[in-house]
Amino acid sequence: MTDAPSRPNQPVYLDNQATTRCDPRVVQAMLPYFSEDYGNPHSAEHVMGQRAEAAVEKARAQVAAAIGAEVREVVFTSGATEANNIAIRGAARFAANMGDPRRRIIAVVTEHKCVLESVADLAAEGFEPVFLPVRPDGLLDPDTLREALTTPTLLVSVMAVNNETGVIQDIAGLAAIAKAAGALFHSDLAQAVGKIAIDLTAWKVDLASISGHKLYGPKGVGALFVRRRPRVRLLPLFSGGGQERGLRSGTLPTPLIVGLGEACRLATAELTADAERIAMLRCGLWDRLRRDIPGIRLNGSETARIAGNLNVTFPRATASELMHAVPDLCVSTGSACSSAEVEPSYVLRALGLSGQQAARTLRIGIGRFTSAADIDYAAAALAAAYAACEAANPDNPTRDT
């Protein structure tokens, strides 16, 4: 990327854990497949279909290379939500259909909602969902997992990188524990690809999910890794033409898949350079926030975290006050709006934060397109907004939620 421009982008986008800009190189790679190369990748009997199929298979190889998988282990989906659903429900249902007596499905309380809900929903089919707590630094204690596995378990699901805190779990270590107990191991890699090196062949992971729009690719596409040796069997979620080896029926969206492939290629090629540059920006921002806002605190492990994430709790002002004061800065609050109710983030609560602390928390996500000027702007604007909030609330009258 080029050096810092003198002026920040407008608005300044520091919400790269919510989604990322589609890299212009990815857009370029996709364009022909919207227009001239529009064939159906499943129409192998003519040249237009063959061209689309070749593009899909090239992308499959690029995705496989980025995660250390074999080409045939990659199944395209509409995103990580769908991949997580197929992995968890599909594995549980297949095992039950085969007469497997095990019912326990283990996940961690800080997983993405689509994992938590997939696991929880399986209770209605007679499975036993178990949600493990995390330590205050956001990491799953291996002994907590070992203990949960003393009851025979079908599947364990642990995300590699948390979408709110950026905390990195030891997937290789946790997967080995699950495998030793005979359980399948699934990992949601949506926030990990392009941020940390991933080697699914070396890690004893059976199933893994990725998402295009978290790694500078397009929205609406993702992939599921399904190990072949030993072969992991799943029941598909829906019926149809039997594409993707019967696991995911439906015509593949060639342009989106080409974009996902190119995004994966770039993620691998630029992982080290991106991480170094982003870590420098993060350190600069964190130094300034700490200097200007005494008492500000970082949530989640200081060391086991991706370069681009700062999840910080302010000693006084609420996140929504701060965001209101700096409307051209895109960050995210420590809350989630579900059915119009604002609730403190369950991830932050799991790390031990109170409702009030969660309400004073911002997630700042630095990415490939963040400039040094963006960071300057964010640091100055947040410090000024904080000072103004403090001045407006000298007695610290905050609601405890």
Ligand X SMILES: *Cc1c(COP(=O)(O)O)cnc(C)c1O
- The residues binding ligand X (CB under 6 A) are 79-81, 112, 114, 159, 163, 188, 190-191, 211, 214, 222
Which residues face 363 on adjacent strands?
A: 311, 332
Report, in Å, the least distance between residue 400 CB and ligand X.
Answer: 29
Of 22, 114, 264, 337, which is the active-site residue? 337
Give the closest residue to 26 by CA, choosing from 369, 280, 375.
369
If DSSP codes are grouped into helix, strand and coil, which group holds residue 267? Answer: helix
Is residue 153 within 8 A of residue 369, CB to CB? The reply is no
Helices (H), ranges, 68-209: 80-97, 113-121, 142-148, 171-180
Output the residue with the shortest Cβ distance to ligand X: 79
Please name the helix (run of DSSP H) or strand (run of DSSP E) that holds residue 338, with its range, or none: strand 335-338
Report, in Å, the least distance between residue 162 CB and ligand X.
Answer: 7
- Residue 394 burial by Cβ neighbours in a 10 Å radius (0-12, 13-18, 19+): exposed
The answer to whether 337 is a known catalytic residue is yes
Rank residues 39 and 218 by Cβ distance to ligand X and give the closer one: 218
Report, in Å, the least distance between residue 212 CB and ligand X.
Answer: 7
Helices 113-121 & 80-97, crossing angle to 10 degrees? Answer: 20
Peptide bond into 294 cis (omega under 30): no
Report, in Å, the least distance between residue 304 CB and ligand X.
Answer: 16
Is residue 382 within 8 A of residue 329, CB to CB? The reply is yes
> How many CA atoms lie less than 13 Å away from 89 in the CB half-sphere?
20
Rank residues 206 and 376 by Cβ distance to ligand X and give the closer one: 206
Is residue 210 within 8 A of residue 193, CB to CB? The reply is yes
Give the closest residue to 348 by CA, choosing from 163, 170, 189, 211.
163
Q: Which residues are catalytic?
A: 337
